[in-house]
A and B are shown apart, each in its own frame.
Chain A
Amino acid sequence: MNHPRSLIFDSSSLVTASKFYINGVLVIDYILKGFRVLIPEEVKKETVDAGVLKGYADAYEIERRIATHSISVVPTSRLDAVFEEVLDDYAVEKGDREVLRLCRQAPDYDYVVIDDHTLYIIAHRLEMRVLFLPDVIYEMAKMEIVDIKKALKMLLKIKPRYRRGFIEHTLKKIRGVI
């Protein structure tokens, strides 16, 4: 059975996607053309509540998309004891926990989008389907949600936020040379 594709977003990836425009359209809006976006409550607090207080434009953009239900805020709760113990062992913070719990609670999600390298590794080790934001852009190009030209523009726009090699690698993937 088909279900709408869904992405769980961590805060840094969500902020980046809500900051950069391509042809007057935010990266998050290209993503919303092809995916349902889910975030835990703590990600909303970090990006919207704290961001609005500081006057960040991306915070208002995310807030607007939550208000129009383009982005869904999903409450999370403590899960089984062993899972929680693993999170305790990693000594991760509340927002990290909620992102990981949401992946467990919403098993039909397609990918969790995390740009925090340490959290990415933890999610991967927990056998979660994890992508960096540049990989989401690659997926969108592959699925023809955006054309290759736009995908390349997006990658070049977000490039300063990523370590050397990340965007270069994704560009080669999109051009089909690797």
Chain B
Amino acid sequence: MAQKVSLAIDGPVLKYIEARRRAHRSRASVVRELIQKGYEANLEQLYRQYQNGEITLRNMAAELGLEYRELYALLEEKGLPF
């Protein structure tokens, strides 16, 4: 279920959001897109660490704040093999 989160942003990230707003995007949608991209990048990095034998799948689940079974489903959904 979606939850509302309020946050303060400054510096270059805020400038980026304002620049995107000029392209007729709402602040919320730009922030959501940035957060999603950051999450995907984290997921990718953790998966690479797993593939390199640095962490187990459970370490990866813990880092992502997921239950083990949720991670299984997420990897399956993204077509990422063990």
A83 at the interface (CB under 8 A from B): no
Residues of B within 8 A of A81 (CB): none
Quote the shortest CB–CB distance from A60 to chain B (angstroms).
13
Residues of A within 8 A of B51 (CB): 117
B24 at the interface (CB under 8 A from A): no
CA distance A29 to B82 in the complex (A): 22
Known contacts A116-B82, A117-B51, A161-B81; A46 and B67 CB within 8 A of each other:
yes
Residues of A within 8 A of B50 (CB): 117-118
Classify chain A: how many residues form its interface, as a range: 20 to 34
B54 at the interface (CB under 8 A from A): yes
B59 at the interface (CB under 8 A from A): yes
Residues of B within 8 A of A174 (CB): none
Q: Which of A1-9, A30-38, A88-96, A149-157 is near enough to bind chain B?
A: A88-96
CA distance A118 to B59 in the complex (A): 10
Give A118-166 interface residues, CB cut-off 8 Å to B: 118-119, 121-122, 160-164
Question: Chain B at the A interface: mostly helix, strand, loop or mixed?
Answer: helix
Q: Which of B8-16, B31-39, B69-77 is near enough to bind chain A?
A: B69-77
B-side interface residues, number (CB < 8 Å): 21
CA distance A116 to B53 in the complex (A): 9
- B56 lies within 8 A of A118 (CB): yes
Known contacts A12-B57, A91-B59, A118-B50; A46 and B69 CB within 8 A of each other:
yes
A76 at the interface (CB under 8 A from B): no
Residues of A within 8 A of B73 (CB): 54, 56
Quote the shortest CB–CB distance from A18 to chain B (angstroms).
11
Instruction: Mark A residues whose CB is within 8 Å of B.
Output: 11-12, 15, 46-47, 50-51, 54, 56, 59, 91-96, 115-119, 121-122, 160-164
A-B residue pairs, 4 tightest by C-beta: A93-B58, A46-B68, A115-B82, A118-B56
